[in-house]
Amino acid sequence: MSVQDSWTTSVAQHGPRRDALETALRSAIRDGRLAPGSRLPSTRALALDLGIARGTVVEAYAQLRAEGYLGARRGAGTWVADLGLSIAPSVPRARPAAPSPRFDFHPGQPDLSAFPRAAWAAALRRGLRAAADSTLGYGDPRGRPELREELALYLTRARGAVADPERVVLCCGFRHGLSLVGRALRTERATRMAIEEPCAPPHRAAAAASGLRLVPLAVDERGARTDLLGELRADAVVLGPAHQYPLGVVLQPDRRAAAVEWARATGGVIVEDDYDAELRYDRQPVGALQALAPEHVAYGGTASKTLVPGLRLGWLLLPPRLLEPVLALREVEDVHVPATDQIAFTELLRSGAYERHVRRMRTRYRARRVRLVRMLAERVPAVTPEGAAAGLRVLLDLPGSGPTARELCELASERSLALYEVAGRNAVLVGYGALPEYDAEAGLRALTDLLATVYAS
């Protein structure tokens, strides 16, 4: 468990109080997760991160200084004191857990510390208070009508989708949606699904597990080669038009048109992965492809990037022909997503808190991205960031003269940084979004320090 996790868990358990914060910090220092000499975030930054009063953090730091856990000097911040503790776990572990990296640049993870806990809790409280008892029984497998209404409005507003609430189906994230659509297609006698290559490995696995034969579709700097779809004899294709994973490219207008043309001419289905389109930094997000052919596109969205993946909350916007087969699958497996999550999410959308959160996070991630790109330009010009200014990650193409991507990941790991290789390309993915806000600057610095050392000319 990271220090940030233990702070937030302790705060969640004991309430946003000084005691909880002190307990979390003491235990992190005692068991070595906060090493002697580590700098703590400023009281202002930590208070902002945890959503508590700054005075509470000031008092907690003062108490721990008095107890000798922390040191501080005006102008030099607060750091962990050297207590001379030998670090031995009180309960021997059968298998030592792999130490988590100090900075994990996971490309698919948002800043988990930014989950709007208070807004979610308030939305759940408000919604539960008002909800009829019947809301807590077996419900519509698509999801509650109020939630589908709110989502349809949101998708129309934010994504320019053609969103009929009757065709919205809540599911457990995009991966689940893809699996449902894949299996629904099988019941319609579809056999072949084209999928971008490269793509997210779990999505390839989910599509394959649905029983469809996968056909790779090449991707270049203008997006997936939809102009080649006709040759692939596929019944469906999975596309990430707004921000392809992992290459980060955007499907260009002629390629969007080619996909739609293919679907209309062949009756093929486009599965649109619209996982992070709200996070575009250089312009307004490109609208959903679904709007161009609502009868042919199974649109999939998710709260995994805008909120957190642990919610397992996603949504489909389906063409009529796929609605019944998908609902038949829900009836025999999970029935629908949990009622309490639906209640909270309805309220979050209705109150505007969801969109406020997305705006706040967009500003935060944009700032990180700009900072990283600037640091790279100044310190490591040999490494080139690729892809649209969007999402939670950047792809770095590595110069052929230096270490391979795998070697770089190993060097990073020695410094307790986790970077991620890109299959088939000498490149790494850097998920700047995954760092907690209080640690983002330190993480970007540690990364650019490593790259500057490796690629010193």
Ligand X SMILES: Cc1ncc(COP(=O)(O)O)c(C=O)c1O
Residues interacting with ligand X, by CB under 6 A?
108, 173-175, 200, 240, 245, 273, 275, 302, 304, 309, 314
Nearer to ligand X, 433 or 443 (CB): 433
* Least distance between ligand X and beta carbon 23 (Å): 32
The answer to whether 400 and 426 are in contact (CB under 8 A) is: yes
CA angle 58, 13, 440 (to 5 degrees): 55
* Least distance between ligand X and beta carbon 236 (Å): 16
The answer to whether 170 and 342 are in contact (CB under 8 A) is: yes
SS3 assignment for 344-385: HHHHHHHCCHHHHHHHHHHHHHHHHHHHHHHHHHHHCCCCEE
Nearer to ligand X, 275 or 455 (CB): 275
* Least distance between ligand X and beta carbon 242 (Å): 10
SS3 assignment for 188-230: CCCCEEEEEECCCHHHHHHHHHCCCEEEEEEEECCEECHHHHH
* Least distance between ligand X and beta carbon 300 (Å): 8
* Beta-bridge mates of residue 215: 194
Nearer to ligand X, 46 or 237 (CB): 237
Nearer to ligand X, 358 or 452 (CB): 358
Nearer to ligand X, 141 or 240 (CB): 240
- E-state strands within 32-152: 70-73, 77-80, 103-104
* Least distance between ligand X and beta carbon 392 (Å): 9
* Least distance between ligand X and beta carbon 292 (Å): 20
* Beta-bridge mates of residue 400: none
Nearer to ligand X, 78 or 342 (CB): 342
Nearer to ligand X, 154 or 174 (CB): 174
* Least distance between ligand X and beta carbon 284 (Å): 21
Q: CB within 8 A of 457, min separation 6: which ones?
A: 382
Distance CA 287, CA 79 (A): 47
